[in-house]
Amino acid sequence: MWTDEQLTANGWTAEQISTYHSEQKILEKQAITDNPINQEIIPQITNVSESQTIEESFANLNEPKENLGNFLQKSGGNPTITAILMAALVIIVPFSIYSISSSEGAQGPSGEEGTAGINGTDGSSFHLVLSIETLPNCDDSTNDQIFFIASQSMFQVCQNNTWSIVDLTGPSGTDGSDGQDGADGTNGSDGQDGSDGNNGLMGQDGVDGEDGQNGADGTDGNNGLTSLIVTKVEPNGVNCPNSGTLVETGIDNNNDNILSTDEVDSFVLICNGETGQDGTNGSSTMTMMVARLSTAPANLGCNGTGELLEQGMDNGAGNGIALNGILESGEVLSRTLICTSFSVIQVDDINPGSTSSNPSNFITINSTMYFTANNGTQSGIWAYENGNISLVYSGSVLSLRAIGSQLMFAGQDLNLNVKSYVFEPSNATAWQIKEIFPGGSSYPGEFTLINTTVFFSARDSTGSTGIGLFDLWAYETLNFSVWKVEADIQPSSLIAVNSDLYFSAQPQIGVTGIELWKHETATNTTFMVKDINPGLLSSSPQNLVAKGTMIYMSANAGTTHGNELYAYETTNNSVWLAADIRGGSASSSASELVILGTRVYFKATSGNHFEMWVYESQNNSFWEITNFQSTSGQGGPSELTVEGDTIYFSANDGTTGEELWAHNSINGTIWQVFDLDPNGGLIGEIHVHNGNVYFAGDDGQEGVELWKKQPYSRDVSFV
């Protein structure tokens, strides 16, 4: 565009120059107005005066970019006006430039070439792009250039090789006053529930937290009970004529791993039948392993509890029979010896200190063991159950026996006379059954229960001799009645066999001797069954024990034989000499008889010393077991007590004093269970309760107290 100076220099008058400018303004406005887009935008640009040209209105675009914000602020910060202005700029500027560059006036005279002006500072330029992705590189060629991004309605400027957003936000206007609340519109109907969205992805597991502190230990639970199954040999007898096996089952109530008599809940008898013909061998293989567990032989150096486990192939090696399912000597490949040693513990020091409580008269009823003892201030009946001992009856007690679930004994009344009493454990009460001897002592004893009736010996007077004869009495537990069964017969050694009572008796002193008698309950009759020593002399049967229908006893045949072991068969009323240990009329004085299987063990002498002997009923043989008294010079084995296959007894070997010993009936071994007092002990009564061996013993420090045998260790070795 020509300047006024240029036009004047070319000879233009002032009037021509004014007309020229007026025409130029009209042309510029007409070009913008004729554009359809600008017809809506231009009227909103209120800040452009009529006197300004379009070129003058946008002259500020050539100013540096920092003035652009000031230019927009002149619009009052209205976002709408700002957006319109930006759009107008995009459209108007090109047209303006075009108009300026393309409009021409009248050709004026050519002027002289002016002098070159001073270079001005670089101005800002304005550009339009559709999106950020189409922006050019920000470098020296675009430095300080402003671009309008149409898709996002925003400006960015290139400076220092970095694109930056131009903040066109003006200052916040004053908050307008709140409008009045409109009336509530009518509630629209509820829209339908949208369908459930897809489940989001599972989040990653969180990091494990730190371990918490250990909680306090809970209270120990009660130990569970164990079921036990025990098999025993059932000897020849009424139950099994050809012997057999007794299988007992029950709950181990006291947790001692032994099924005691009172813990047996059920049992089954498996009797051996008569020998049948050999059957056909069962199928087997030459490589089948067979084993055998037996009591270890004595030559292996283990005590009577030793067990020998043998294993091998059922291949018939060593002249054996192959595939017969039996391990024979030649087939044995390995042998393992298992030896158990024992110790003892004191159950309780009933009479504290060195004074003895002297426990005796041991009886077991169910799971409770009863016995008599003295704690220094009180004597009476004591009970031991589950490791606890307590005094259940205080008073004088003799001849304690079990009659079913009750105890019967000889006790003293207020006048210290000895009477017959019954003790009921369930309520710890005792009472006298009847006044048999008013004002005197009846000295009852040997209480023996048959069905519901208790038979016993007692006296009801002192007689002319001042001593009195003893009678056979009966007490009915169902109605508490008491009566005299047979008068003046001096009964002793009472024993029940097949619901009948056998005993030793002498009905007429000086007329008959002491012989074997019977009370037959079915006929209520009493009579002598055998006069072993005929005439006035007595055979004096004592120590009666029963094995099936057989009774073994010590008796004296007089001039033929002395006091020896005799046998009496109740079914045919026969009697015979079982073992003549000391030949001729001399006596072996057999005593303390006990039954184990088919054998009778007892104490006897062959002439010089008392030892333990055994009689085998299957072949009528007998032999000496021990040899203690010949070396010790003290009393021979005593208190013989059976537990399993073992006989426990007291004996003095001349070195350790009187201690607890044992003999295994299978391998014949004899061993000292424990040396209770190395300086010389004392062993009293021995009793088996719940499969454990209890005894009265003196350890040399606390007197005679109650002790118990228990396993100590088990050694396993290959032999």
pLDDT in tens, 287-297: 667 888 888 78
- The pLDDT tens digits of the residues spanning 612-665 come to 999 999 999 999 999 998 877 787 899 999 999 999 999 998 888 999 999 999
The residue with greater pLDDT, 190 or 666, is 666
Instruction: Verify that 45 and 154 share a domain, yes or no.
Output: yes
Residue listed under structure tokens 């009479």: 351
Angle between helix axes 14-33 and 79-102 (nearest 10 degrees) is 130
Q: 10 Å Cβ neighbour count for 67?
A: 13
Q: What is the DSSP letter of 298?
A: G
- The pLDDT tens digits of the residues spanning 426-447 come to 999 999 999 999 999 999 999 9
Residue 90: predicted pLDDT: 39
* Terminal alpha carbon distance of the chain: 134
Q: What is the mean pLDDT of residues 592-612?
A: 95
pLDDT at 600 over 50: yes
Radius of gyration of the chain from its Cα atoms, rounded to whole angstroms: 63
Residue 316: predicted pLDDT: 85
Q: Which of 85-89, 130-134, 300-304 has the lowest mean pLDDT?
A: 85-89
Domain contains 402: no
Instruction: Verify that 143 and 239 share a domain, yes or no.
Output: no
Q: What is the mean pLDDT of residues 305-319?
A: 83
- The pLDDT tens digits of the residues spanning 524-556 come to 999 999 999 988 889 999 999 999 999 999 999
Tokens of 286: 């030459």
Domain contains 611: no
Pair type for strands 146-149 and 126-129: parallel
Q: What is the mean pLDDT of residues 52-77?
A: 43
Instruction: Verify that 232 and 147 share a domain, yes or no.
Output: no
pLDDT at 135 over 70: yes
Instruction: Verify that 145 and 267 share a domain, yes or no.
Output: no
Contact criterion met (CB below 8 Å) for 577 and 588: no
Q: Which domain holds residue 160?
A: 22-103+123-166
Contact criterion met (CB below 8 Å) for 495 and 501: yes
Instruction: Verify that 131 and 257 share a domain, yes or no.
Output: no
In angstroms, the CA 717 to CA 526 distance is 60
Residue 113: predicted pLDDT: 67
Residue 616: predicted pLDDT: 97
Contact criterion met (CB below 8 Å) for 685 and 663: no
Total tally of structural domains belonging to the chain: 2
Most confident of 34-38, 57-61, 67-71, 515-519: 515-519
The pTM assigned to this predicted structure is 0.59
Domain contains 695: no
In angstroms, the CA 485 to CA 520 distance is 11
Q: Which of these three, 273, 290, 312, is where a domain ends?
A: 273
Residue 85: predicted pLDDT: 41
Residue 97: predicted pLDDT: 38
Residue 336: predicted pLDDT: 86
The residue with greater pLDDT, 515 or 467, is 515
Residues 6+ apart with CB under 8 A from 191: none
In angstroms, the CA 315 to CA 312 distance is 9
Residue listed under structure tokens 């003290």: 634
In angstroms, the CA 321 to CA 583 distance is 46
Indicate the length of the chain as a whole number.
Answer: 719
Domain contains 689: no
Contact criterion met (CB below 8 Å) for 436 and 442: yes
The residue with greater pLDDT, 251 or 118, is 251
Instruction: Verify that 50 and 127 share a domain, yes or no.
Output: yes
The residue with greater pLDDT, 177 or 537, is 537
Instruction: Verify that 142 and 269 share a domain, yes or no.
Output: no
Instruction: Verify that 153 and 238 share a domain, yes or no.
Output: no
The residue with greater pLDDT, 329 or 515, is 515
Tokens of 415: 């006048």
- The pLDDT tens digits of the residues spanning 1-23 come to 567 777 777 777 877 778 777 77
Q: 10 Å Cβ neighbour count for 364?
A: 19
Instruction: Verify that 267 and 136 share a domain, yes or no.
Output: no
Q: What are phi and psi of 456, to 5 degrees?
A: -160, 165
The residue with greater pLDDT, 334 or 223, is 334
pLDDT at 340 over 70: yes
Instruction: Verify that 232 and 132 share a domain, yes or no.
Output: no
In angstroms, the CA 685 to CA 307 distance is 28
3-state secondary structure of 176: coil
Backbone angle region of 301, left / alpha / beta, with phi > 0 → left and psi within -120 to 50 → alpha: left
Q: Which of these three, 251, 273, 295, is where a domain ends?
A: 273
Q: Give start and end residues of each alpha helix (H) in 361-492.
A: none
Q: Which of 65-79, 299-313, 346-360, 579-593 has the lowest mean pLDDT?
A: 65-79
Half-sphere exposure of 467 (CA within 13 A, CB side): 5
Residue 696: predicted pLDDT: 97
The residue with greater pLDDT, 285 or 386, is 386
Provide the pLDDT confidence category of residue 56 given band limits of 50, 70 and 90: very low
- The pLDDT tens digits of the residues spanning 241-288 come to 778 777 677 776 776 667 777 777 766 667 777 765 655 554 456 666
- The pLDDT tens digits of the residues spanning 191-226 come to 777 777 677 676 676 676 677 677 666 555 455 556
Contact criterion met (CB below 8 Å) for 423 and 416: no
Domain contains 257: yes
Average pLDDT, the chain: 81
pLDDT at 86 over 90: no
The alpha carbon dihedral of 606, 607, 610, 611 has a sign of negative
Residue 433: predicted pLDDT: 96
Domain contains 550: no
Domain contains 571: no
Residue 629: predicted pLDDT: 86
Domain contains 633: no
Instruction: Verify that 267 and 148 share a domain, yes or no.
Output: no
Contact criterion met (CB below 8 Å) for 15 and 21: no
Q: What are phi and psi of 717, to 5 degrees?
A: -145, 155
Instruction: Verify that 127 and 254 share a domain, yes or no.
Output: no
Residue 75: predicted pLDDT: 43
